[in-house]
Amino acid sequence: MDISPSVQSFVFHFGEMGSRWGFNRTVGQMYALLVVTERPLSANELAETLNISRGNVSMGMKELQSWRLVQVSHIPGDRKEYYRVTGSIWDMANTIFEERKKREVDPTLSLLRDNLLEEPKDQEEAFALEKMQEIHDLLEMLTQWSGELQRLSPEKLSTLMKLGAGVSKMLSMKDQLFAKNNQPNSDS
Amino acid sequence: MDISPSVQSFVFHFGEMGSRWGFNRTVGQMYALLVVTERPLSANELAETLNISRGNVSMGMKELQSWRLVQVSHIPGDRKEYYRVTGSIWDMANTIFEERKKREVDPTLSLLRDNLLEEPKDQEEAFALEKMQEIHDLLEMLTQWSGELQRLSPEKLSTLMKLGAGVSKMLSMKDQLFAKNNQPNSDS
DNA sequence: TAGATGTTTCAGAAATTTCTGAAAGTTTAA
DNA sequence: TTAAACTTTCAGAAATTTCTGAAACATCTA
């Protein structure tokens, strides 16, 4: 398959960046190509277009499926498997965040929690545990926060974004509002 | 230097995770050790404690300094250089986000912007450009948003976090507030 | 059942990244 | 100026990751 120069630069760039997001160069390229291509592509098309081996494509698709970023689809009367991305760009970002959280943050939280059960034996250990506690709390905050964002629809999110420098403002609004009611808490 | 088992597990874990955050195993270990150690450590102490070469420590400190995560400090009457982390855990998270943005997101945005200047030649290219536009917009949103968060004090952030499932609720409040385009209204 | 058309697997080759340690460089002090 | 105490550099060794391609496997059809 031929690709235009801008698609090519996009694909190469995401190959390089891909490693930062948890997959290797060729997997990043395969994903990028699928993102910007409307119709599903066969493994052979991917291999030829990107100049990589058929086996590599097979492994890459397996990995992207394990990330829930790619699905298989079939064309009636054709035995080949065709691949396409799952969902929108927003879904893509959500999925990547979620998977990375599962793979990176969750194990870290679990290790920190285990360590925090110990009693410090001396001043040095107490300091270390204090720092671990801080990291733990920070990660929990981020986790909770990102969960919130994920549950928002893209439309709502966009509204939120457009508030621009307003997050801080929103906070004081919230204070104002709840000052007059009596529940500062919005648990459900 | 001797380290307790929990510190050891912390250090090893951050060594493994470190690569996800943009630095390699030993750099991750060095940083983790500095985070949980109150007093500054010399290069030799780092090398001995982590069983790595002196040269590696030198390179690692250089890298962590380029990330603005570590600073050099001196002890009067001692010619050695001692290293310690800069700022709080919150500062650490901010710095890492900021640096990663600079290294990963900014170049991507710039590439996307360049590509988006092109006129699509056919339907396929139009689709590709559309997707690139969506990614561009998403990244801009995230960039703006994270800028907001960074400007918040940890205290305010904590308030925001405690809103818990309230972000969505807050949004509708905001709609209510601005619907009439006048001052806040105390009904809920 | 054989053969055609596809996919997956995985040993080891290739590429890349990381690490070591010796040599070179720097700074201080006598 | 020399020496001592320290740091940095970098060639190439070691470790790790990625990729290939041939063989094994799967499925369908005649």
Instruction: Return the pLDDT at A183.
Output: 44
- Give the minimum alpha-carbon distance from B54 to chain A in angstroms, rounded to a whole number: 24
Mean model confidence pLDDT for chain A: 87
Give the DSSP letter string of B110-155.
Answer: HHHHHHHTSPP-SHHHHHHHHHHHHHHHHHHHHHHHHHHHHHS-HH
Contact list in B for residue A112 (CB cut-off 8 A) is 10
Q: What is the pLDDT of residues B109-166, one digit of tens each?
A: 999 999 999 999 999 999 999 999 999 999 998 888 788 777 776 677 666 666 555 5
Contact list in B for residue A6 (CB cut-off 8 A) is 115, 118, 125, 128-129, 132
Q: Name which residue leads in pLDDT, B67 or A157.
A: B67
Is B26 contained in some domain? yes
Tell whether A9 and A48 lie within a shared domain: yes
Instruction: Return the pLDDT at B177.
Output: 54
- B186 and A180: CB-CB below 8 Å? yes
Nearest CB to B160: which of A100, A111, A171? Answer: A171
Distance A162 CA to D17 C1' (A): 42
Q: Provide mean pLDDT across the span A115-131.
A: 97
Instruction: Return the pLDDT at A129.
Output: 98
Percent of chain B residues past pLDDT 70, beyond the cut: 81
> Is the pLDDT score of A52 beyond 70?
yes
Is A66 contained in some domain? yes
Tell whether B112 and B174 lie within a shared domain: no
Percent of chain B residues past pLDDT 90, beyond the cut: 66
Q: What is the pLDDT of residues B21-54, one digit of tens each?
A: 889 999 999 999 999 999 999 999 999 999 999 9
Mean model confidence pLDDT for chain B: 87
Q: Mutate one of A1, A2, A10 to test the B interface: name it (highest B CB count within 10 A).
A: A10
Tell whether A70 and A81 lie within a shared domain: yes
Q: What is the pLDDT of residues A96-117, one digit of tens each?
A: 989 999 999 999 999 999 999 9
- The rounded distance, in Å, linking the Cα atoms of A25 and A15 is 4
Q: Provide mean pLDDT across the span B67-78.
A: 95
Is A183 contained in some domain? yes
Give chain B's largest Cα–Cα span: 72
Nucleotides of chain D within 7 Å of a protein C-beta?
Answer: 5-10, 17-22, 28
Q: Are strands A82-85 and A70-73 parallel, antiparallel or unpaired?
A: antiparallel
- Could you tell me the residue range of the domain that residue A170 belongs to? 153-188
Nucleotides of chain C within 7 Å of a protein C-beta?
Answer: 5-10, 17-22, 28
Contact call for residues B6 and A118 (beta carbons, < 8 A): yes
Instruction: Return the pLDDT at A115.
Output: 97
Tell whether A27 and A75 lie within a shared domain: yes
Please count the structural domains in chain A: 3
Tell whether A80 and A19 lie within a shared domain: yes
Per-residue confidence at A168, pLDDT binned at 50, 70, 90? Answer: low
- A7 and B174: CB-CB below 8 Å? no
Is A91 contained in some domain? no
> Residue B83 carries which DSSP code?
E
> Exposure of A8 by Cβ count < 10 A (0-12 exposed, 13-18 middle, 19+ buried)?
middle
Instruction: Return the pLDDT at A119.
Output: 96
Contact list in B for residue A10 (CB cut-off 8 A) is 111-112, 115, 128, 132
Q: Mutate one of B10, B12, B143 to test the A interface: name it (highest A CB count within 10 A).
A: B10
